[in-house]
Amino acid sequence: MDSARTDLLPNQGRPRHGWIGGALYLLGSGKLALLLVAGLILLSLLGAVLPQQGMVARSALEIWQKHHPLATALLGPPGFFNVFRSWPFLICVLLLGTNTLVCTIFRLVRDGGIGPLRGPGFLARTGFVVLHFSIVLLLVGAFLTASTGMHGLLLLTEGQSVHDTHDAYVRFTKGPMMLQRHNRYSLGLGKVTVTYEKERYPVDIAAVLEFSGGSDRVEKVVRVNHPVRYRGLVFTYDETGFSPRIIVKETKTGRHLVDSYVALTTHKTPEGREYRDFLPVPFFGYRPMFTLLPDHIVQDSVAVKNSDIPGRPLLVLEMQREDGSVASRTHLPSGEWTIIGDHAVLFAGLRRWASILVVEDPGYYLVYAALWLGVGGLAIRYGSEFRSWMGASKTEQPLESA
């Protein structure tokens, strides 16, 4: 090993080659790594304890901030209410990546490259290099995804199709350096199948996706935990629920005011799932709330949900006042017109809706490779040490001594 190399090593005294050597020494030092890890722990703790944008509802965040003015004044400006995108966090991650890279290079330089790694402690030293290289790879992969990837959410009812345009997505975020735009596919939602066990517990949810792009037409089945790929995009099953077809018309004129499948939100409660939502139209000055009972029975003259499996579906229409109190409740059996004042309402059919996550993740393979490389690196780094501990007999390593 030549002297110039030796001078840059973190554990062989201060460098003697000016500010570049000094900076490199500092960047690759283990103490800096410790400081950065401590910083990341602190920032992550803030992220775990403080309400974070995008994790909690905006109103909940505002209420929290109103009740904690001092904390908001101190922690708001550096961006700690969105800490994982704040500049202190990003600087810490960037510095840790640089520190890890420089530290790994130092190790390689000190050991004279990859070849001379052979010899005593070969496994531990190789493990160290592999592990730290994997951290750099992980950060590069994460950066690629964050800067050039996209994440969208589509909401479709069975039989509905959409084209890949910005407005088609319920939610859409993309990296600042994403080059490719929309218009890559059209997607239709076919049959959604929910399989139940013991007539109550859903155990599998699958949907047929019909893709088309140019002359290309493909049908794929997406299920929970089993995403599908199409043209570099990954389509993941997110949630499912019911979309009753609701028709509202004026009895005098016969004019249709509403005729569409309305995707009801699925609420998970301790008693089970509830399917309900408001129809976003004023109805006699009330807010019309629709609740679906996929299969119902009547107990003491009250309709109650019997099962989540569609059987005898019933739509319950509640007219709510602005304060949330219920003015009237009407049962709408499937296929029967119900007259409410000057209007007739029909529950005309039931379909399922599905929300599909559409993800473009260019850093995917790097991140995956880094994850397993990191695990492998750790195993190599500590495996030999652990093996020698396990291999030593009780008399060689008595518990009473170090």
Q: How far is the CB of 224 from other proteins (least distance, A)?
A: 4
Which of 198, 229, 252, 255 lies at the binding interface for other proteins (CB under 8 A)?
A: 198
Least distance between other proteins and beta carbon 117 (Å): 19
Q: CB-wise, 17 or 226, nearer to other proteins? A: 226
Residue 218 found at the interface with other proteins (CB under 8 A):
no
Is residue 201 within the footprint of other proteins (CB under 8 A)? yes
Question: How far apart (Å, rounded) are the C-alpha atoms in residues 151 and 337?
Answer: 42
325 binds other proteins (CB under 8 A): no
Which of these segments, 160-168, 251-259, 321-329, 385-393, binds other proteins (CB under 8 A)?
385-393
- How far apart CA 212 and CA 19 sit, in angstroms, is 59
Cβ closer to other proteins: 344 or 359?
Answer: 359
Find the angle CA(48)-CA(49)-CA(55) to the nearest 5 degrees: 60
CA distances for 59 relative to 54, 73, 287, 374, angstroms: 11, 18, 21, 40
> Of the two residues 191 and 226, which places its CB atom closer to other proteins in the complex?
226
Is residue 184 near other proteins by the rule CB under 8 A?
Answer: no
**Which backbone phi and psi does 32 adopt, to 5 degrees?**
-65, -40
369 forms part of the interface with other proteins (CB under 8 A): no
The yes or no reply on residue 350 touching other proteins (CB under 8 A) is no
CB of 85 to other proteins, least distance (A): 9
User: Applying CB under 8 A, does 94 fall inside the site for other proteins?
Assistant: no
Question: Angle at the Cα of 341 (from 339 to 343), degrees rounded to 5?
Answer: 60
Near other proteins in 33-72, by CB under 8 A: 33-34, 37-38, 40-41, 44-45, 47-49, 51-52, 55-56
> Site size for other proteins, by CB under 8 A?
59
Question: Could you please report the per-residue DSSP string of 104-124?
Answer: HHHHHHHTTSSGGG-STTHHH
- 90 belongs to the binding site for other proteins (CB under 8 A): no
Q: Give Cβ neighbours of residue 19 (< 8 Å, ≥ 6 apart).
A: none
Closer CB to other proteins, residue 75 or residue 344? 75
169 and 356 Cβ atoms separated by less than 8 Å: no
387 phi/psi in degrees, rounded to 5: -65, -40
Residue 265 near residue 240, CB atoms below 8 Å? no
Closer to other proteins by Cβ: residue 302 or 402: 402
Which residues are CB-contacts of 223 (< 8 A; sequence separation ≥ 6)?
204, 205, 206, 207, 237
Taking the complex as a whole, how short is the minimal distance between the CB of residue 361 and other proteins, in angstroms?
8
Q: Which has the closest alpha carbon to 115: 102, 101, 129? A: 129
Residue 324: Cβ within 10 Å count: 8
How many angstroms separate the CA atoms of 22 and 45, rounded?
32
Closer residue to other proteins in complex, CB, 151/331: 151
**Site residues (CB under 8 A) for other proteins, limited to 219-278:** 223-227, 234, 236, 238
CA proximity to 244, closest of 155, 348, 355: 348
Give the nearest distance from C-beta 207 to other proteins in angstroms: 12
- Dihedral over alpha carbons 33, 39, 42, 47 (to 10 degrees): -110
67 Rama sector, left if φ>0, alpha if ψ -120 to 50, beta otherwise: alpha
Between 142 and 303, whose beta carbon lies closer to other proteins? 142
Q: Is 205 in the site for other proteins (CB under 8 A)?
A: yes
- Residue 402 binds other proteins, judged by CB under 8 A: yes
In one letter, which amino acid is 96?
L
Binding site residues, other proteins, CB under 8 A: 30-31, 33-34, 37-38, 40-41, 44-45, 47-49, 51-52, 55-56, 84, 142, 151, 197-198, 201-205, 223-227, 234, 236, 238, 357, 359, 361, 364, 367-368, 371-372, 374-375, 378-379, 382, 385-386, 389-390, 394, 397-402
